[in-house]
Amino acid sequence: MAAEAKTQAGLKRERQGGFRTFVAECVAELKKVDWPGQRQLFTATVVVLIAIFVVGLYLWVADEAFSRLVKNVLLGG
């Protein structure tokens, strides 16, 4: 037998809704969202691309440095 749903206070809660209620609540919540404008979206995209480039460059430099360290110092090469 499945356990009955309870609230945090321990009171029994009747199961309401279903898929239609879920979808209706999702639509209602999405209407409340403050969606970014085209300019804000473009700015955020540029910031993300610059951040990706900077982190990628840092990782490439670190990889090259550690590769040379391993080859020249640890492997005696």
Share of the chain above pLDDT 70, in %: 79
* pLDDT level of residue 52 (50, 70, 90 thresholds): very high
Measure the CA–CA gap between 36 and 42, rounded to whole angstroms. 10
Q: Is the dihedral of CA 56, 62, 68, 71 positive or negative?
A: negative
Polymer length in residues for the chain: 77
Residue 2 has pLDDT above 60, yes or no: no
The whole-number average pLDDT for the span 32-46 is 96
- Amino acid found at 6: K
Domain residue limits, the chain: 19-74
* pLDDT level of residue 22 (50, 70, 90 thresholds): very high
Q: What is the pTM of this model?
A: 0.57
DSSP summary character for residue 9: T
Element (H, E) at 44: helix 38-69
